[in-house]
Amino acid sequence: MRLPRDLTGQELAKALTKLGYVTDRQTGSHLRLTTQENGEHHITVPNHSPIKLGTLSAILREIAEHFNIDRDELLSRLFSK
């Protein structure tokens, strides 16, 4: 599955709620999200429009590693309708 090209920080934060992430705090233009599923994990998401592809890829790679799934499965969980 391809990475979404026009994803904003708010849209990514909303999609990550499917994995149990909640917005912990916001500092400037960055959101910090935390989940307790599969152990505690924190991720920082820039609240930019759109998120750069390299940044999005790095965020999704870190989340996939935390949940021990591959990137395609993570993308289908987050963005398939």
Give the domain extent around 66.
9-74
Q: What is the DSSP string of 41-70?
A: EEEEEE--SSPPHHHHHHHHHHHHHHHT--
| pLDDT tens for each residue of 42-78 | 999 999 999 999 999 999 999 999 999 999 999 999 9
Is 4 a domain residue?
no
Which CATH number do you get for residue 51?
A: 3.30.920.30
Domain membership flag for residue 29 = yes
3-state secondary structure of 27: strand
Q: Is the pTM of this model over 0.85?
A: yes
Asked if residue 36 has pLDDT above 90, the reply is: yes
